[in-house]
Amino acid sequence: MFFQGRLERLLQQLKSSAAIPLRLELWNGRAFDLSPNPKVRITLPEPSALRYLLAFDLLRLGEAYVEGRIGVEGPILDVFGVGEQLARAGAPRKRLRGASKTWRHSRERDREAIHQHYDGADDFYALWLDANRVYSCAYFKDGSEDLDTAQEQKLDHILRKLMLKRGERLLDIGCGWGALILRAAERYGAHATGITLSESQHEYASRRIRDAGLQGQCEVRLLDYRDLAGEGVYDKIVSVGMFEHVGLKNLLFYFDRIRALLKDGGLALNHGITSTDPDSRWVGLGVGEFIDRYVFPFGELPHLSLALRELSKAGLEAADIECLRWHYAKTCAIWVTRLEQHREQAIALAGEKRYRIWELYLAGCAHGFDNGWISVYQILACKAGQARSIPLPRTRDYMYQ
């Protein structure tokens, strides 16, 4: 009963010092409201569940939820917010940033990470992504757009930034389910090639290309970016939501391959999630550890300054940089709402545990982007020393036409 007494003392302190919209119900029928109108209810079914709550760590709280050790009711965005408040209130000296951590990225390790994240789950993703299965932040012009419209706007925003023209050769590194290369071929008349490590994505994108009759203009290859060969092959190169999985120590090689594959006078665009910590450390409070354990192993987020440094060392020059953090916060909030709306179907497809993992992960991403824990940037670049020879307009107006 030591832990129960400790919990009750802590809850009394929280009730008097922090307005957390939580009702906590214990196995013995006792209940504690930490604010007058709690939005979230957490149920501890047995005394052993106390260790999760008293850890004051979002990894342990998340583990308890996804493993079914505690009961949780309430809107998932509110649930995550309550979890953060508990972690901060119970351990006020804990900082938002964790220790620096880097992984060794090999072809085998990265292929396995992609397989774990994507393969065999196409129907699950289809429940909450847009019709084109674009698994990256949408682009909202006024915030009222539906997800399908906002994702198409994002594809066009990228392709306009690249000034993609009919007949040009486009490479998409980490092409997902193929939405960008299909739009580049259909709407812009480009010859588009995408690469992915996911067998499911490769199969799906190849089928969409065949269905659209674009086999001679568009292709997707099952290939690691490190195995791309050639010099000056592509007029335009794009990578969306992929460099998060390159690894901090591999960024220089990644950008060097882009520079080598890019034609003189060409443009490249990298769209990726970044850390807001100048030292590229993980998000603390157990968040980074939860993502590594349950969602995407071996992912690493560079700070924008590190990405720009490695891009420059590779012989590229940044021509335009745009932050889309607000857009990703809204996208993730829409995703998790759509997932909740398809709860029964999602559980039937992926199981209760995977549903809970993704519900919590997407809500955490929405919260993280909204509160500046992480960010996302589009970096438009050319080969160093060629900026004057590329006919980039003097203003950004061309991006919005």
- Residues serving a catalytic function are 365
Contact 159, 181 (CB under 8 A): no
Could you give the CA distance from residue 155 to residue 148 in angstroms, rounded to a whole number? 11
Closest CA to 162 of 141, 146, 145, 183: 183
Could you give the CA distance from residue 318 to residue 270 in angstroms, rounded to a whole number? 10
Could you give the CA distance from residue 104 to residue 300 in angstroms, rounded to a whole number? 11
Cα four-point dihedral sign 308, 311, 315, 321: negative
Could you give the CA distance from residue 71 to residue 11 in angstroms, rounded to a whole number? 18
Under 8 Å CB-to-CB from 240, ≥6 apart: which residues?
136, 158, 172, 174, 176, 180, 271, 272
- What would you measure as the largest C-alpha separation in the chain, in angstroms? 74
Could you give the CA distance from residue 330 to residue 143 in angstroms, rounded to a whole number? 8
